[in-house]
Amino acid sequence: MRVEAQPAYVLHARPWRETSLIVELLSRDHGRIAVVARGVQGAKRHPLRAALQPLQHLRLDFLPRGELGRLVQAEALDAAPLLQGKT
């Protein structure tokens, strides 16, 4: 069953295999979820890769399958916050 237009925030993204990422998200209706974003990194950069940065607010579609779902589509709802502080 496909979940559509779910608002969520990106918590963390880490590499998985050669061209994919495992993305941990915090969604309004489903809580903390992990999804696989296939083909978003590698030699040919995917436009979705920029939207999968930490603290990014997204609207996403995914297929929940056990502990690890599959990301179907994601759209950034606003710009990621600028983090400031002493270095």
Residues 16-46: b if buried by 16+ CB within 10 A, e if exposed = eeeebbbbbbebeeeeebebbbeebbeeeeb
Other C-beta atoms closer than 10 Å to the C-beta of 57 total 16
Domains of the chain with bracketed CATH? 3-76 (2.40.50.140)
Dist. CA 22–CA 38, nearest whole Å: 9
Specify which residues 6 forms β-bridges with: 60
pLDDT at position 43 is 66
pLDDT at position 20 is 92
Per residue in 4-55, pLDDT (tens digit) is: 999 999 999 999 988 899 999 999 999 999 999 998 887 666 778 878 888 8
Per residue in 52-68, pLDDT (tens digit) is: 888 899 999 999 988 89
